[in-house]
Amino acid sequence: MGKVWFVGAGPGAPDLITVRGTQVLARSGAILYTGSLVAETALQWAPADCEIADSKSMDLTQVTDWLLSRAEQHETVVRLQTGDPTLYGVLAELARPLDAAGIEVGIVPGVSSAMASAAAAGECLTLPEVTQSVIFTRFAGRTPMPAGESFAALAGHGCTLCIFLSIERIAAVAEALVAAGWAADAPVVVVHKATWPGEEQVLRGSIADIAERCRAAGIVRQAMILVSPALGARQRAAGASSKLYDAGFERRFRGKGTRD
């Protein structure tokens, strides 16, 4: 039996897949990728004789059966997923049948669209004495939120929110943010297809107008919503600085009160 690898393709740009990810692809005998989300350019590292299939029309059982059957034929099989396999995927559901069949499973992490979106917008997700916590979450839809993880409760913390899989309900997201205590004029950044060559779109607005801006721009899917008190920090007057590089902060490689 071969080994099945779950490989994160990253947010979209082919050069944002990890080196390890390209190495696994390069030795694979079969690759199943999510064609509705992963750019086909990520397949450029696959061998010429590699079997490649698109899972966009498959259900969970069909995906599992494909991986099980290919693991009987190839030493290396890849499930290529967008972003990172451990975040908003079905890793556990796909891995259970593989585990039960005694098939070894490997995971290659990928660059999340949350980080890619912040980079595309030139923003930081944390800021000293402003926000030091980042919440990855989504708005409830067909999949309900677990008890204790309501969007309103999480938004009430006032820290950075990276909101996945929710752009279709952006108006409801905005309403929930205001209800949770965010000001209507608080900045919001929406990034559509972060890092996708020729397709990336960065949209800026406020909680009050972001839904209308998204409608006008035609952004209805594959978008990250960033809400944070750190947004726009580069355009503000300097605030508190990181203690790590403070000249008076003693650390392992620098004595207190020295400069290097």
Q: What's the token pair of residue 127?
A: 């800021």
Give pLDDT tens digits along the chain (260 positions). 899 999 999 999 999 999 999 999 999 999 999 887 887 788 999 999 999 999 999 999 999 999 999 999 999 999 999 999 999 989 999 999 999 999 999 999 999 999 999 999 999 999 998 999 999 999 987 778 888 899 999 999 999 999 999 999 999 999 999 999 999 999 999 999 999 999 999 999 999 999 999 999 999 999 999 999 999 998 877 655 555 555 556 666 666 655 54
Domain limits of the chain? 3-108, 113-235
Whether the pTM exceeds 0.85: the reply is: yes
Say yes or no: domain 3-108 is CATH 3.40.1010.10: yes
Backbone phi and psi for residue 192, each to the nearest 5 degrees, phi listed first: -95, 125
Scored b (16 or more CB within 10 A) or e, 229-256 reads ebbebeeeeeeeeeeeeeeeeeeeeeee
Residue 118: half-sphere exposure toward Cβ, Cα within 13 Å? 21
Residue 140: half-sphere exposure toward Cβ, Cα within 13 Å? 13
Contacting residues for 94 by C-beta, under 8 A, at least 6 apart: 6, 60, 63, 64, 67, 79
CATH class of 113-235: alpha beta
Residues comprising the chain, all counted: 260
